[in-house]
Structure 1
């Protein structure tokens, strides 16, 4: 992600604002100091200071004009705005039209009371921040990483790369490249001895882990391709961290001891059981023209040998052109054409597919269960009304790709049988091992392929989320491309003062 200057100048802008205001009214209005202290603390939490520039200018103008009552109200409003942004995000969930269908968070009663206490001078900035800041694990881990980067900036340590970056492999003698690699890897959480200027096993392991996480060839050699990823612009990485931190404010403090977290940016699913990572595997999610939305939902059951009712947009855009040319494709795909008026199956050769348009869709297309079904052998329905769910696939070869934005919006799972096994075992539903599930699905004869609904003992929260910066269980930062452009949109919104 390209560096965005405003995301790294918070400390400079803060110092400028504080000096202007303090010089004018600090002696008579202690609220000025309260705002300065709050901005210092929230900067540590990743808030973008530049977002409040116009409000700060307005405040300074009121103070200069001697309009103290209006200035105090402006200051109070500014504190309330900063507090809300810290708790719920500078960019709200409903700001991302068509990309997020998450209900925006609001300040809770205790948080509102804390804001009032701070405005009245009876609560410290640190205590207010502790009351407001999110507690979910993604937010906490990302803020910790950001603070490492901020410490480097405050220390005055150079972040510039050597003029020439040597390939780091056995026999390398370029001390500056080795030290720089250690520095950048350590910042990202890949532990190694940053004081050593020779290649040792800990550095090779850090390089290998980094390559695995960033979908590079994991050979432990830091060549040009790996350097390109590791040596991304320092300010740009801070930008990426701040934006992911801001979006993680949308998440609830408690994701659930058992929950499913799909990172759409990374195309990866994590299953947590009893607050421990139980599974971590690849997903396939929506292509660029059919993006999977950010969504918080729940899973109450799964279906073995599901049918697939083709959504109207896919019917129109993908299937109708195919069937117009060759109606035999309906039968080849093991589909049934249902007349919506009579609810009866019709012969696909009797349909004039050229007349099926957006304003004239008199049919429902249903694919039979079994081999070749687009949903594979297991479907994990969710409760949303948008037909977004998790499922197996009949194209498992696609998981070999690094970029897996290939679906029409739903999330395909690399390990659906193992996933179902882990989910059911977490609820002591011991009858559904991966082998048992396969025997009930892909190992069946075609005539025995009937749909079966398996109800879970309790529902499981499912989060379809988008973080281009996240932290894994080892504390290692994983950076992903902004393929959906959500980070770019977030930046544009924050830039609007």
Structure 2
């Protein structure tokens, strides 16, 4: 029991806090005459509060904010404004459920837990509670469970408030998640009511279980010791004191290390490779700067990463199709998944921090071989125009055409110094060629961002650990293999695809069935091959702002 809040609530029950509530700034409070508070039944006060909610954006009850909510109003209207939470078992179940919100990465305080807990404690002492206070508590409990289940389904933070580049539209509440709260309370089935709202995607449970594991270590006083980067990479065969510290650190993180000494042996190499694999790093068994950065993530940082990604899973809270393409921006990886197994995977290059690849769902509808590139205006006016001012042969040397509408223009006849990135009147097309920025194939999935997947002549970038180099579109390490998988049922194999490429003529092939494609941003994700969680670098720095939203009180 929280005794400070218990004292406050005792004052509330005695009527001494009404003047404080009435003085609350910025919210509608509910003035009640204590001399009349015992004359009317609970139903009367519930009806009054519900009616006030219809005219006020925010109502304050017992010091807690209740936002105008049509669902709350309809539930009480259908119940004839009778209280819903008379049974003690339902109230106790509610307390347990709200306390467990912490393990969903949410804040139990957002759901009036303190007031509800203290009200229930006092209800065992004061059998004859004032009707007005019983009405307040009933509404707060209803608001708590509805707000919590809403957050479990759709997330607490509005993704569009964080970035315009996120476009997973809010999913409708399907039949298994209907807010039939009165029925759940009548059947003492509150836990089932909440379970139906929780994400059913398998990885959500993986994140939650990992959160519970790290949280239990932290609460038991455990910690992961920080180790200083020795100034150079450590590799097999090294014999220096830093090797001993590295072994101690990996052992603290439950990796198998039997001998703590200064020798970089096979045991350390194996443990290090396992750690690197689980942290989105190339498993080369060499302890470089990025490996040390990953090792020095504290338990608190890991818990926050898990919280941020549980929220992201809630944003896409619907069942994946049986077969689909999954692109995780943060892991620089594309996977084709069928039956929850990886059928194909390859590395990708994604957008730079200031030209981020957006997050959305679409279908790959068709594939273009030997494509030309209609260069976006922003690139043409901001990147190519300055080069044209000093080199009019720039376009010709790159198989690019200068266009005015549908007509080709000779760049040698243009004074490019007259134009800026705000009045450049031309468009630029790069024709199909070995140097074409789109390579030899592109995959079109309709979306408002004009983002697509494509080949690239810059193959060396796929060897990099960090692969955020594009203007937003996604470059593929193995585009022809992906094309073969998408078109194999239509009679195309690699040989047929190569024949099209060799013709050097543009060819568009429409897929008989669109391939569902999910572009996500997960800084912790599941390795579908071994079912372990992998942590990735937050390349766009999005975790911090998301966590700020999760930590902000309702």
Map of 1:287 onto structure 2: 352
**Offset at 1:407?**
0.5
Query: How far apart, CA to CA, are the structure 2 residues paired with 1:240 and 1:303?
Result: 38
Map of 1:5 onto structure 2: none
Which of 250, 256, 267 aligns to 1:181? It is 250
Map of 2:386 onto structure 1: 321
Is 1:440 aligned to residue 505 of structure 2? Answer: no
Map of 2:460 onto structure 1: 397
Query: How far apart, CA to CA, are the structure 1 residues paired with 2:455 and 2:259?
Result: 48
Is 1:253 aligned to residue 318 of structure 2? Answer: yes
* Superposed counterparts of 1:50-69, under 5 Å: 52=110, 55-56=112-113, 67-69=133-135
**Offset at 1:259?**
0.9
**Offset at 1:106?**
4.0
Query: How far apart, CA to CA, are the structure 1 residues paired with 2:252 and 2:551?
Result: 31
Alignment partner of 1:325: what SS? coil
Map of 2:486 onto structure 1: 423
The alpha-carbon distance between structure 1 residues 430 and 143, as it changes in their structure 2 partners (threshold 3 A), is farther
* Superposed counterparts of 1:204-353, under 5 Å: 204-212=269-277, 214=279, 216=281, 218-220=283-285, 226-340=291-405, 343-353=406-416
Map of 1:486 onto structure 2: 542
Query: How far apart, CA to CA, are the structure 2 residues paired with 1:463 and 1:302?
Result: 17
Map of 1:465 onto structure 2: 520
**Offset at 1:285?**
0.9
CA contact (8 A) 1:337 1:364 kept: yes
Map of 2:99 onto structure 1: 40
Query: How far apart, CA to CA, are the structure 1 residues paired with 2:319 and 2:3?
Result: 36
Map of 1:380 onto structure 2: 443
The alpha-carbon distance between structure 1 residues 21 and 72, as it changes in their structure 2 partners (threshold 3 A), is farther
More moved, 37-46 vs 164-173: 164-173
Alignment partner of 1:134: what SS? coil
- C-alpha RMSD over aligned residues: 3.6
Structure 1 residue runs without a partner (length 5+): 1-14, 187-191
**Offset at 1:368?**
0.5
Q: How far does the alpha carbon of each residue in 1:453-486 deviate from its partner, in whole angstroms, 9 at most, with x for none?
A: 1121211111111111112121332222222121
Q: How far does the alpha carbon of each residue in 1:401-422 deviate from its partner, in whole angstroms, 9 at most, with x for none?
A: 2211111111111111111122
CA contact (8 A) 1:304 1:378 kept: yes
Q: How far does the alpha carbon of each residue in 1:144-202 deviate from its partner, in whole angstroms, 9 at most, with x for none?
A: 32222234345x25224389999897889999975652342x4xxxxx558x5669977
Higher CA-based Rg: 2
The alpha-carbon distance between structure 1 residues 41 and 98, as it changes in their structure 2 partners (threshold 3 A), is same
**Offset at 1:432?**
2.5
**Offset at 1:364?**
2.3
Q: Which has the higher contact order (CA 8 A, sep 6+)?
A: 1
The alpha-carbon distance between structure 1 residues 280 and 335, as it changes in their structure 2 partners (threshold 3 A), is same
The alpha-carbon distance between structure 1 residues 372 and 236, as it changes in their structure 2 partners (threshold 3 A), is same
Alignment partner of 2:366: what SS? strand
Structure 1-normalised TM-score? Answer: 0.81
Equivalent pairs counted in the alignment come to: 462
The alpha-carbon distance between structure 1 residues 398 and 89, as it changes in their structure 2 partners (threshold 3 A), is same
More moved, 473-482 vs 371-380: 473-482
Alignment partner of 1:458: what SS? strand
Map of 2:16 onto structure 1: none
The alpha-carbon distance between structure 1 residues 89 and 311, as it changes in their structure 2 partners (threshold 3 A), is same
**Offset at 1:437?**
2.3
CA contact (8 A) 2:95 2:113 kept: no
Query: How far apart, CA to CA, are the structure 2 residues paired with 1:162 and 1:27?
Result: 52
Structure 2 residue runs without a partner (length 5+): 14-84, 123-129
Is 1:99 aligned to residue 153 of structure 2? Answer: no
The alpha-carbon distance between structure 1 residues 294 and 176, as it changes in their structure 2 partners (threshold 3 A), is same
Which of 119, 132, 150 aligns to 2:197? It is 132
